[in-house]
Amino acid sequence: MYRRTFLALSSALLAAKSNSLNGRWDLTVPSNQSKRAWWVELKYIDTPHASGSFIGAPGGDLDQISDISSSNGEAHWTITRPSANGKTWKGQYRAHLEGEKLVGTLEVPGESPVSYFGARAPNFRREDPNKLKAGSPVELLNGKDMSGWRAVRTNAPNLWKQENGILRNGPGTTDILSDAKFMDFRLHAEYRVGPHSNSGIGLRGRYEVQILEDYGKPPDTHGNGALYSRILPSSNASKPANEWQTFDITLVGNTVTVILNGTTVIDGKEIDGLTAMAIDPNEGEPGPIVLQGDHGPVEFRKLTVTPLLRK
């Protein structure tokens, strides 16, 4: 107990120093064609207990960093993962400070280095959503056309269509984002997926609430209603494939509540940082609603955002 308390206090003190690599960092990758943002948390740098966690290339899981060291003001860590060709993907990351900015590179054998930079993630003040004032609801779907939405990526076709009151994607399409941006809000969504399909809703373009056809399966951090790879749902409240389902999601600061088909599956949990769906690393600012379209067929018939305002 004493050792855990000491390490926690040490990490907090190190992160508080402006010249420390320790802390949570929201990362921008200028060359990333998928428009994805990355995230890293570094702990106990310059001690024998250095560790961390990372979301970024490759894939979308939250990777725990164990192979990490530092020297001359620079952190070095390695992430390995099996790749599709049966070989092992091995990424070597470096990061150092330039003023208040984290600057680094990812190097993979046989590939060109990838540069990134980042800012410290904000410290959110926890607030009671019930003490905030509900603003005027914003309907993101007009039932007729794609007004108010645009493609996340330009290197993939935009095959989303809205007609007869339903928004649906086409195979091989890109994700889309709303023109409207929100900070604190409640979101009511009505959606439908077919067998084995997979999608997601990006809150502020940063935190994905997973959509997955997983009726009858155990709760999973990659399952329906999860805060993708970060927060495990308390239960699986999914309906069978091809049935309409509902989300009622509240996001205030970095605290999220997810109600799936009337069952609260995440109740006021704090989000540690970005998820793999993130397209905007600036956590302290308003952001769009993003719909994932490149993982399988999905339909939406309702997306209503009610801003939550300080009284």
Q: For each of the chain's 311 residues, which pLDDT tens digit applies?
A: 434 444 444 444 444 444 599 999 999 999 877 789 999 999 999 899 999 999 997 778 899 998 999 999 999 999 988 877 778 889 999 999 999 999 999 999 989 999 999 999 999 999 999 999 999 999 999 999 999 999 998 888 899 999 899 999 998 899 999 999 999 999 999 999 999 999 999 999 999 999 999 999 999 999 999 999 999 999 999 999 999 999 999 999 999 999 999 999 999 999 999 999 999 999 999 999 999 998 889 999 999 999 999 97
* Cα–Cα distance, 108 to 124 (Å, whole number): 35
Do 88 and 157 have their domain in common?
A: no
Do 194 and 250 have their domain in common?
A: yes
Taking only Cα atoms into account, the Rg of the chain, rounded to an integer number of angstroms, comes to 20
- Tell me which of 120, 151, 168 is where a domain ends: 120
- Tell me which of 95, 120, 145 is where a domain ends: 120
How many distinct structural domains can be found in the chain? Answer: 2
Do 189 and 275 have their domain in common?
A: yes
CATH code of residue 225: 2.60.120.560
- Tell me which of 85, 103, 120 is where a domain ends: 120
Q: What is the pTM of this model?
A: 0.91
Q: Are strands 101-107 and 263-270 parallel, antiparallel or unpaired?
A: unpaired
Do 53 and 104 have their domain in common?
A: yes
Do 142 and 63 have their domain in common?
A: no
Rounded to 5 degrees, φ, ψ at 11 are: -65, -40
CATH code of residue 15: 2.40.128
Q: Which domain holds residue 35?
A: 2-120
Do 241 and 158 have their domain in common?
A: yes
Run of H or E including 38: strand 38-43
Do 85 and 140 have their domain in common?
A: no
Return the pLDDT at 15: 44
